[in-house]
Structure 1
Amino acid sequence: MSRMDMGQVAPEAYQAVLGLEKYVRANVDHRTLELVKLRASMLNGCSFCVDMHSRDALDAGESSRRLFAVAAWREAPFFDERERTALALTDAVTRLGEHGVPDEVWDAAAKLWSEKELADLVMAIATINVWNRIAVTTQAQPPLEV
């Protein structure tokens, strides 16, 4: 059972995060966006978001094979170069440590993504990390029946 419904308790804050979500949905390639959301949610241990984004991606036509491989994307042959740089950036931003995002990760992404695309990708990664932190903190649970 969830600790609280953030949308009920702090609706203005929830709507602000939802505004970020709407922005990234409109500005980041849907297929890449779902991979990024799934990867960050896996790293953050957010079962609510892993479930939601797996189902969303499947509903949008993504293959289950690629979705399962997100957990081991570095070894999997199913992702193109842009997706790989997006996943690497997702890992670095989500696991943001003492030294930030490594130059090699940033530089690889910057080679393949325009400055605007890269800015939007960073916003997408930041947004899913906000959602993950809300869901994990409040112990949001995925529905048992869908």
Structure 2
Amino acid sequence: MTNRIDISQTQPAALAAMMSVEHYLAETTLPTELKELIKIRASMINQCAYCIQIHTEMALKIGIPQQKLFAVSAWKESPLFNCIERTVLALTDEITHVSHAGLSDSTYQKSLELLGEEKLTQAMMQVIMINAWNRFAVATKMKHQEAD
């Protein structure tokens, strides 16, 4: 395998722009647990091993139970997720799979009802941002550290 580009080396301004959005997201009022579930779910859909590793580690650090993390890929069938988490995961699925059918009116309306405009916008931005990172990490074959 050949080495691929490193955004920090080839286009530091692009990395700075992405990090600017990350700084915004870090300051939002969307609960950290929801942010990490969004990142993990989108990364699973996009098959981004690098981001799955990073965000499952972070989820464990902030106290999301392992059992719940194991169930993220099958969240629709799992009883471990509450109504808000289910809605945010549906939002994540539909935005990540935007080419399938877009964001449905029913998911949008349910998200708006449960989250309100401010947190819905924040959740949408979180989904958009992790999808951008997933695409970059997959395209450049970024690798996480191997477990000991």
TM-score normalised to structure 2 length: 0.94
From 97, 104, 107, the equivalent of 1:105 is 107
Q: Letter of the 1:95 partner, please give it.
A: H
CA distance in 1, matches of 2:99, 2:54: 27
After TM superposition, give the deviation of residue 84 of structure 1 in Å. 0.7
After TM superposition, give the deviation of residue 98 of structure 1 in Å. 5.3
Q: Does 2:78 correspond to 1:48?
A: no
Q: Letter of the 1:24 partner, please give it.
A: L
Aligned to 2:40: 38
TM-score normalised to structure 1 length: 0.95
Q: Letter of the 2:38 partner, please give it.
A: V
- Of residues 80-89 and 2-11 in structure 1, the stretch that sits farther from structure 2 once superposed is 2-11
Q: Letter of the 1:54 partner, please give it.
A: T
CA distance in 1, matches of 2:61, 2:77: 25
CA distance in 2, matches of 1:105, 1:141: 34
Contact 2:94 2:101 in 1 (8 A): no
**1:70-85 matches, cutoff 5 A:** 70-85=72-87
Aligned to 2:14: 13
From 62, 71, 87, the equivalent of 1:69 is 71
Contact 1:41 1:50 in 2 (8 A): yes
After TM superposition, give the deviation of residue 68 of structure 1 in Å. 0.8
Contact 1:25 1:33 in 2 (8 A): no
After TM superposition, give the deviation of residue 145 of structure 1 in Å. 4.2
After TM superposition, give the deviation of residue 99 of structure 1 in Å. 3.6
Q: Aligned residues, how many? A: 146
Question: Which gives a bigger RCO, structure 1 or 2 (Cα 8 Å, sep 6+)?
Answer: 1
Aligned to 2:24: 23
Q: Letter of the 1:100 partner, please give it.
A: G
Percentage of pairs with the same residue = 38
After TM superposition, give the deviation of residue 25 of structure 1 in Å. 2.0
Q: Letter of the 1:115 partner, please give it.
A: E
Q: Letter of the 2:15 partner, please give it.
A: Y
CA distance in 1, matches of 2:94, 2:147: 34
CA distance in 1, matches of 2:15, 2:108: 30
1:98/1:18 Cα in 2 relative to 1: closer, same or farther (>3 Å)? same
Gaps of 5+ in 2: none
Cα RMSD for the two superposed structures: 1.3
Q: Which runs of 4+ in 1 moved over 3 A?
A: none
